[in-house]
Amino acid sequence: MTSKTTVKTLLILGASGDLTGRLLLPGLAGLLASGRAPGLRLVGAGSDPWSPEQWQDRVNTAFAAASNASEATGRADLAAVASTTEYHQVDVTADGPLAELLSRLEGPVAIYFALPPHVSQKACEVLHRDQLPPGTRLVMEKPFGSGTESAHELNKTLAALVPEDRIHRVDHFLGKATVLNILGLRFANTFLEPVWNRDHIEKVEVIFDEDLALEGRARYYDTAGALRDMVQSHLLHIMAFLAVDAPATVEERDLRDAVATVLRASSIKAPYAHSTRRARYTAGTLGERTVPDYVAEEGVDPSRNTETLAEVRVEIDNWRWKGVPFILRSGKAMGRRRKEAVITFRPVPHLPKGFSGVDSPNQLRIGFGPDVLELDVDVNGPGDIFSLDRASLVAQLNAAGMLPYGEVLEGILNGDPLLSVRGDTAEDCWRIIEPVLRAWESGDVPLEEYDAGTAGPAGWPTAVVD
């Protein structure tokens, strides 16, 4: 049973960090502005000797845009949080200081570990269950562990502190309205379900290509790469939403069970030179900007052979999907920004003689930014009435709403882990990816190159399919 208690204090560890400034505080601002987090107290902590004013400045800066837009209640909530927030200098890896800080906070507390992963792990190891205020929730960022075994060990450490339903493993893609829309699209419309299977679908692609390069994030990115950073977490979850059977409810237990069932049936099959590809960008141009070779970027260690473009073919071994490739791809410094799922249907079994003009199968595209739904269909065109033309049925998805981190925080503060990754699923995502990481490390799959600003190495983006 999920214990739904409202969090009184949000404690952000890593208050001076990039995630806090760029994503967490703006997400929180949107949530407060909507009036959906009344009475919250915000406490920041970190190893920096910040003055209270420095932290308050950071909070005010992040809250400024939201306070212009919000209603009176939201503005009052933003002002209350900004004026009462505190900052504490704490080494979270030392035995004692974090527990001491927790003892002074009004519970229930949500502890947000916006820290480097190894620091979060150590901080959890030095905490004890009896040091946590009743109802404490632990919020862990990605990457959750560095492989199946370390994720399992981290799960054990967390389980010694609080029950599973009070652990929130953040994947902020689960807070994106268009990702959640996949479920509404699939389960609230009768026309899709009969064709949503191996009999009618040829392949499914989930593509997240960015037209941005490293943007000064070498310290993190160079140790992660595209496969760990995007595919291992975000794209596998989008794939799971596209592939799940209808859950009994869209509540936490049923939906997360359904997602876990799909991921347990999923794997990437060897030989990996056939089912995966990796590449790294070299110098090129992105719009007006010149981008240097990835290996020439500050902070990059060329000996790590980090990929900036990864593509894998996942197979889901169940009745619905056996034999249908799910191709997941993400790249940096690509010529075209593309964030979408593309469902390609099988060709019609027979086209009556006399029709002409059909040369590609129907496709459904679910765009994650711009948020759009597009179905390509063939229809009688003008002129020769049996010469078919390709037309697109386009629906703009009105997904404007809270930032993904706002949605995720709302779940955390209200004690609902629906939009968090469950422990077994976090391990399963590593189980799927780990053999590929090993094969890539041992050089089984060549690291190709592509010029920044292009569509990838020659031959890409044609998907890896038999």
- Which is closer to ligand NDP, CB of 144 or CB of 326? 144
Q: How far, in whole angstroms, is CA 403 from its chain's centroid?
A: 13
Give the relative orientation of helices 52-69 and 25-33 as an angle to the nearest 10 degrees. Answer: 50
Report yes or no: 137 and 168 within 8 Å, Cβ to Cβ.
yes
In the complex, the smallest distance separating the C-beta of residue 354 from ligand NDP, rounded to whole angstroms, is 55
Q: Which residues are catalytic?
A: 234
Span from 16-24, 77-85, 304-312, 349-357 in contact with ligand NDP (CB under 6 A) = 16-24
269 annotated to bind ligand: no
In the complex, the smallest distance separating the C-beta of residue 89 from ligand NDP, rounded to whole angstroms, is 8
- Which is closer to ligand NDP, CB of 4 or CB of 22? 22
Tokens 């906070």 sit at which residue? 105
Q: Does residue 117 belong to the site contacting ligand NDP (CB under 6 A)?
A: yes
Q: Does residue 125 belong to the site contacting ligand NDP (CB under 6 A)?
A: no
Q: How far, in whole angstroms, is CA 158 from its chain's centroid?
A: 21
Handedness of CA 28, 182, 277, 284 (dihedral sign): negative
Report yes or no: 329 and 209 within 8 Å, Cβ to Cβ.
yes
Q: Does residue 175 belong to the site contacting ligand NDP (CB under 6 A)?
A: no
Residue 352 in 3-state DSSP? coil
158: which 2 tokens? Answer: 């967390």
For residues 332 and 218, give the distance between their C-alpha atoms in angstroms, rounded to a whole number. Answer: 13
- CA dihedral of 422, 432, 450, 367, whole degrees rounded to 10: -50
In the complex, the smallest distance separating the C-beta of residue 331 from ligand NDP, rounded to whole angstroms, is 17
Closest CA to 276 of 157, 446, 36: 446
257 annotated to bind ligand: no
- Which is closer to ligand NDP, CB of 25 or CB of 328? 25
In the complex, the smallest distance separating the C-beta of residue 35 from ligand NDP, rounded to whole angstroms, is 27
- Residues touching ligand NDP: how many (CB under 6 A)? 25
- Which is closer to ligand NDP, CB of 388 or CB of 433? 433
Report yes or no: 170 and 110 within 8 Å, Cβ to Cβ.
no
For 416-433, b/e burial (b = at least 16 CB within 10 A) is bbbbbbbbbbbbbbbbbb
Q: Does residue 114 belong to the site contacting ligand NDP (CB under 6 A)?
A: yes
Q: Does residue 211 belong to the site contacting ligand NDP (CB under 6 A)?
A: no
- Which is closer to ligand NDP, CB of 228 or CB of 365? 228
For residues 320 and 19, give the distance between their C-alpha atoms in angstroms, rounded to a whole number. Answer: 38
For residues 197 and 202, give the distance between their C-alpha atoms in angstroms, rounded to a whole number. Answer: 9
> Of the candidates 7, 10, 12, 16, which one interacts with ligand NDP according to CB under 6 A?
16
Q: Does residue 19 belong to the site contacting ligand NDP (CB under 6 A)?
A: yes
Q: Does residue 142 belong to the site contacting ligand NDP (CB under 6 A)?
A: yes
For residues 453 and 305, give the distance between their C-alpha atoms in angstroms, rounded to a whole number. Answer: 20
Span from 108-116, 127-135, 401-409, 442-450 in contact with ligand NDP (CB under 6 A) = 108-116
Q: Does residue 141 belong to the site contacting ligand NDP (CB under 6 A)?
A: yes
Span from 113-121, 308-316, 395-403, 446-454 in contact with ligand NDP (CB under 6 A) = 113-121
92 annotated to bind ligand: yes
Q: Does residue 451 belong to the site contacting ligand NDP (CB under 6 A)?
A: no
SS (H, E, C) 399-448: CCCCCHHHHHHHHHHCCCHHHEECHHHHHHHHHHHHHHHHHHHCCCCCEE
Q: Does residue 93 belong to the site contacting ligand NDP (CB under 6 A)?
A: yes
> Of the candidates 2, 5, 8, 18, which one interacts with ligand NDP according to CB under 6 A?
18
Residues 26-65, one symbol each (x = binds ligand NDP by CB under 6 A, - = not), give --------------------xxx-----------------
Closest CA to 92 of 71, 113, 64: 113
User: Which positions make up the binding site for substrate?
Assistant: 172, 176, 210, 229, 332
| Site of interaction with ligand NDP (CB under 6 A) | 13-19, 22-23, 46-48, 90-93, 114-117, 119, 141-143, 220
